[in-house]
Amino acid sequence: MNITMNTDVPKIFDRLKGGLIVSCQAEGDSPFNNPADVAKFAWTAWKGGAVGIRTEGVAKAAAIRKMVPLPLIGLIKSYFDDGFVRITGSEAEVEALIHSGCDIVAIDGTFRSREGMSGPEFISHIVNKYDVLVMADIATADEAQACAHAGAHCISTTLSGYTPETQHLVHDGPDWDLLYSLVNLLGNQLPVVAEGRFNSPQTAAAAIKAGAWSVVVGTAITRPQTITKWFSDAIRQV
């Protein structure tokens, strides 16, 4: 497979290489579920050594852009008809994220249909129409290769465990097999980002050691309610 990286990619991706990207998101009834507080999460991540920020929502991305000078990956989360998560599934969402100041837009790269196109087809349409860097969120190696062919600028393991075909993996920690496979298949051609259940410093470091370009950590840093539950559940078991 011959994949040529966009000429704009190395400059920003060099800033992400070998580092931690913090996913700053808040949902539902979380008291942090507003642009100002999510931007504060991003600011503290920057001060703690993060090299990049990933966030959900246009208003939150815009708030982070004003406060934090790190590369910013934006997405809009919605759902397919079967209830499984979809990442940035429409052209209008892509445009909104670009206007909010995102450096990279994360797009669902799975084979599921949106706006009459599969993920790789949608990514091809976006990279040919817009001057934007695209992170393809995928769940399988086949999807990753198709997205690379389609022109994605980097690949992330984000959706492993969160699609109908891979949901059995969601309780097993990171999908190491997928990460190893993508590093071997694509690692010499475009950045492979590790994301999904990297919930400890040890697993994050292991991802970099395994060849990931960078690693995204979210829940273990920016979701206090979930982190508290990990501790309280462990104590109750004792």
Q: What is the pLDDT of residues 110-140, one digit of tens each?
A: 999 999 999 999 999 999 999 999 999 999 9
**Beta strands of 62-103 (E only): which ranges?**
72-75, 77-79, 85-87
Question: Kind of pairing, strands 85-87 and 77-79?
Answer: antiparallel
Of the CA atoms within 13 Å of residue 75, those in its CB half-sphere come to: 26
Average pLDDT over residues 161-180: 94
pTM for the full predicted model: 0.94
Those residues whose C-beta lies under 8 Å from the C-beta of residue 96, and which sit 6 or more positions away, are: 58, 76
CATH number 3.40.50.2300 given to 20-237? no
What is the spatial distance between Cα 70 and Cα 46, in angstroms, rounded to a whole number?
A: 7
Largest CA distance in the chain: 56
Closest CA relative to residue 207, chosen from 173, 232, 180: 180
Question: What does residue 92 show for φ and ψ, rounded to 5 degrees?
Answer: -60, -40
Residue 10, pLDDT score: 61
Report the percent of the chain where pLDDT is more than 70. 96
Place of tokens 């050691």: 209
pLDDT tens-digit profile of 192-238? 999 999 999 999 999 999 999 999 999 999 999 999 999 999 999 99
Structure tokens at 36: 């100002």
Q: Distances in Å between the alpha carbon of 52 and those of 112, 120, 150, 171?
A: 28, 25, 24, 26
The region of weakest confidence among 6-20, 52-66, 161-175 is 6-20
Task: Report the mean per-residue pLDDT for the chain.
Answer: 95
Reported as type and span, the H/E element at residue 29 is none
For the chain, which residues make up each domain, given as ranges?
A: 20-237
pLDDT at 105 over 70: yes
- Contact by Cβ (8 Å): 148, 155: yes
Q: Distances in Å between the alpha carbon of 33 and those of 27, 28, 56, 147?
A: 6, 7, 11, 31
